[in-house]
Structure 1
């Protein structure tokens, strides 16, 4: 149950992170170019700072959610559940063994 909640939160954070990165433009474009002058409320510099900080916060949140979901998936044991120790070992059938072929020998003449 809690893993499902973490998964939903991870998807939401990923979507927000994608939006935040797509809005940014490293060459003074993007959302910050739509504001004309520096005298406007928010300004260009503040917009880029806000988007950069938002990207870092969302990235850190994503990493934390992934780590916590891993603990939730393992039920807090910290061990891997990829291999079940209680399962019966698999039976592997080998290819049929080839019989050694030896040259046919003549039966010993016992009548001599």
Structure 2
């Protein structure tokens, strides 16, 4: 969905705030002197994931209660990710779930 080398960050602040922003590899760069078309803006939205909210740990999961998101349907929901650490690396994995950018297809997102 986002390619082998997406760009982004997932940031957890000790005060309980989580922020995720990930963009697909190979996204086209719009021309700065020409307004984007609706199709170009839609494609930009389909090639990203972004959400923020309050997070907590529940067993082997980090759960974010989403307050704002690129996908409005996520607002007010809990997004849970399985986490594990290896040395100083954190691995996150979403459960298989319908993904709004994939028109009803099920996806599992893995972040390392």
TM-score, normalized by length of structure 1? Answer: 0.21
- Greater RCO (CA < 8 Å, at least 6 residues apart): 1
Query: Would you tell me which structure has more strand in proportion to its own residues?
Result: 2
| Structure whose residues are more often helix by fraction | 1
TM-score, normalised via structure 2 length: 0.21
